[in-house]
Amino acid sequence: MLINYVWRRRLFFLVSLLNSIFVLNAQDTEARINLLLAKMTVDEKIGQLNQLPGDLMTGSEVGKEDLLAQIRSGRVGSVLSHTNFEQKIILQRAAVSESRLGIPLLFGFDVIHGYKTVFPIPLAQAASWDMRAIEEVERIAAREASADGQHWTFSPMVDVSRDPRWGRVMEGAGEDPYLSGKIAEARVRGFQGDDLGQSSTIAACAKHFAGYGFSEAGRDYNTVDMSEQRLREVVLPPFKAAAKVGVATFMNAFNTLNGVPASMNKYLITDILRGEWTWSGLVVSDWNSFGETIVHGAAADDVDAASKCLSAGSDMDMAGGTFQRGLKKALEGKRISMQQLDEAVRRVLRLKYSLGLFDNPFLYLDGERRLKELSQPVYRETARSIAASSMVLLKNQGKILPIRPAAGLKKKIAIVGPMADSKTNKDYMSFWTLGLGMQYYDSTQVVTPAEGLKPVLENMGYEVLVRPVCTAGDCDEKSYAMMIETAREADIIIACVGERGLDCGESKSVASLDLPRNQEGLLRLLGRFGKPVVMVLFNSRPMTFEWASENIPAILVAWQPGFETGNALADVLTGRVNPSGKLPMTFPRKVGQVPIYYNHLRTGRPQASFGMPFTSGYLDVSATPAYPFGHGLSYTEFQYSDITITKPTLEKGESLAASISVTNIGDRIGSEVIQCYTQDLTAEVARPVKELKRFLKITLNPGETKKIQLKISQEDLSYWDNELRFRVDPGKFKLFIGGSSEAVKEADFEVKSIKK
Ligand code: GLC
């Protein structure tokens, strides 16, 4: 007993010592910030809120005077999009040794799907539903970016969207707020680790706050107008998840939200983010979004825009100069107070302290570490693995996949299509691959589909025909005709189609989701030979291909897989890796169905079947999706038992406990994403037909069964009503568990009414 007591005392002393060290550290930082603030002139304070572009333009040029001169005069707090390592040292030296107060610079960069090693686009990674893998991707990206002098990434993008016309769906995690929230947490953990002071971790940034994914008509930067409920239920949850997991910064969105530009939206930034969520980090504008409040017509001039954005809670002006031009006059005109200005400056200085930059401004500018860190081929193995686990097998009629060994028969495989062997820059990637300069990420870094497949298929006994191949940008009838000739000789045809890398991302909205440049016409011609055709889609968004869906036996969504495209594709098509991806976004039949998403309301006249009159459907197409949220096939098969609910009637506040067994009834190992949805059958307002509440990715050997236990709290079942009360009502619910949002087992449960 005495020993226990002594150990308990020691433990208590240690914990309180650690706690007091932490508190002292924080107090010490605040004291140092106060001392520095007291020395700063108004111009130097405004300078800390000014972020200027480096040697890369990721937005329209806003006029760049001499960066070094501005840094020396204390008018720059941060530089973004600077790729040249040696110059970053020069810039930092100018800030630290040649400006009056020597405040170090913050270097920010878009590390969106890798820095030097290029991983699949974020939407592809979302299709893996593998949080550990996604966190590992960002750990590697942080190691590479930090070694190259970047302190801060403008990632994760956590904009939920239901509109594939919007080019930026590729940067997010799709249509579901719960999945987007879990991925946001994984990305922030990956970038920031446990200690921002480590030189291998970087500050993350939840963006774009908020509602950007709901731009009208899928047009980038367009108007966003939505109910408070949709904001609370769909848009905000991933941002809240990022805030709760400790993301260091937020970024404004370009759009207006219900008429108010996000950069000057006090309700969003001060009331919700800093108020309700008690988040106290740094908010940076998007590129010149402060200045664009004037273009929106919500501010009269720089003074007005600067006052409104700072007063709303925004702190740093990215590449706009609005604060530089307008904030001092706003202060003199008492539009803002010195206290408000100081608060914004504190948040900048606090971030710099947390990164260790005041103790060592060159902590991230170590040439030796850079050489070592930026030459780790092992990182490509991670890229290959997540690229394979992100691919989604939509269809496998007649089980023509995986491709089996030729077994002595002299068989031929043709690899054709505009995306079969493209050497066009950024193909299989996206614009957001900039870390070492645009020229680094040319096609020589990518293992193309043909390069990955050819050696592997030849080892399996096939003769592989890869000719002639145009690239997605320059295919014409002649090149298609030559592909047809090649395909005519083959026993199996692999047709690689889809979007070019530079047609994905920011300001890349489309009005049609069809395969571009008549690629479906090519598929129709290939389909005429009556041979097995495998369609491999390289895409950054859900696309429409109705004829192919009906006539091509095997369809694999490969997304934009990054550097290891060809190797990952070969792994999946030959069965070395059993596909396990599940769609994070619904694939429509036609673009006219957009927005189409799984967690929709029932309406008063749900479409029971196509063509039913007086129901919510279309004359010309079924209202159902081509491929639903959560869909994805495997080369094996998973069987689900019925759901067991421990206690189907819950007292108020009691959690639901359920279990289900899943068996791999096929002949090969495989991974399955078990998805758990609920439906609130009756509430104060209409509720979605399904809402994702839990998911789990498991691997099962052939014949293996696993019993999965799930717990869902009544907080998970709660919703926002019209008076903005967050509540759960007594009444009946449904629970759905399965391998997609449609292939599910279901069970009933209820929350008991409270006895009056
Ligand atoms: C861009 C994007 C934003 C990015 C920023 C810096 O316009 O909207 O996501 O982080 O500018 O490149």
- pLDDT for the residue numbered 22: 62
Please write the tens of the pLDDT for every residue from 693-705: 999 999 999 999 9
Q: Would the pLDDT of 216 be above 90?
A: yes
Question: Of 447, 449, 455, 463, whose CA–CA distance to 414 is shortest?
Answer: 463
Distance CA 98, CA 474 (A): 51
* Residue of 110, 121, 220 to mutate, ligand 1, most atoms within 8 A of C-beta: 110
Q: What is the pLDDT of residues 32-75, one digit of tens each?
A: 999 999 999 999 999 999 999 998 877 665 455 689 999 999 99
d(CA 114, CA 143) in angstroms, rounded, equals 10
Residue closest by Cα to atom 10 of ligand 1:
154
Least trusted range by pLDDT, from 141-145, 378-382, 397-401, 478-482? 478-482
Residue nearest to atom 8 of ligand 1 (CA): 286
- Tell me the pLDDT band of 607, cut-offs 50, 70 and 90: confident
- Does position 2 have pLDDT exceeding 90, yes or no? no
Per cent of the chain over pLDDT 90 is 86
Residue 582 · residue 674 · CB < 8 Å:
no
Q: Which residues line ligand 1 (CB under 6 A)?
A: 58-59, 80-81, 110, 154, 207, 286-287, 506
pLDDT tens for residues 635-646? 999 999 999 999
In the prediction, which pLDDT does 439 show? 80
- Ligand 1 centroid–CA 473 distance in Å is 26
Asked whether residue 653 carries a pLDDT value surpassing 90, the answer given is no
Quick one: which atom of ligand 1 is closest to the CA of 208?
A: 9
Ligand 1 atom at shortest distance from the alpha carbon of 59: 7
Residue 477 has pLDDT above 90, yes or no: no
Quote the radius of gyration of the chain (alpha carbons, Å).
27
Domains of the chain: 40-372 (3.20.20.300), 381-593 (3.40.50.1700), 638-751 (2.60.40.10)
* Residue % of the chain over a pLDDT of 70: 96
Q: Report H helices in 574-608.
A: none
- pLDDT at residue 3, rounded to an integer: 58
Question: For position 57, what pLDDT does the model report?
Answer: 72
pLDDT at 92 over 80: yes
More confident residue, 399 or 471: 399
Q: What was the pLDDT predicted at 170? A: 98
Output the pLDDT for position 425.
83
> Does the pLDDT of residue 437 top 90, yes or no?
no
**Residue tagged active-site, from 148, 163, 176, 286:** 286
pLDDT at 403 over 60: yes
Gap from CA of 292 to ligand 1 centroid (Å): 14
Active site residue 286: yes
Render 732-756 in DSSP notation, one character per residue: EEEEEEESSSSSEEEEEEEEPPPP-
Token pair listed for 480 = 């298609």
The 10s digit of each residue's pLDDT in 558-570 is: 999 999 999 999 9
- Which residue puts its alpha carbon closest to atom 12 of ligand 1? 58
Q: Which residue has a Cα nearest atom 3 of ligand 1? A: 286
Q: Which atom of ligand 1 is nearest to the CA of 207?
A: 9
Q: Which of 168, 283, 286, 507 is the best mutation target for the ligand 1 pocket, counting ligand atoms within 8 Å of the beta carbon and taking the most?
A: 286
Ligand 1 pocket mutation pick from 56, 58, 207 by most atoms within 8 angstroms of CB: 58
pLDDT at 13: 72
Residue 435 has pLDDT above 90, yes or no: no
Work out the angle at residue 126's Cα, subtended by the Cα atoms of residues 122 and 130, and round it to the nearest 5 degrees. 120
Instruction: Mention every residue, 6+ apart, whose C-beta is less than 8 A from residue 208.
Output: 157, 159, 251, 252, 253, 254, 255, 262, 286
Q: Give the SS3 label for residue 680.
A: strand
Least confident of 203-212, 375-384, 432-441: 432-441
Please give the mean pLDDT across all residues of the chain: 94
* Over residues 112-128, mean pLDDT: 98
- Reading the block at residue 148, the tokens are 């190259």
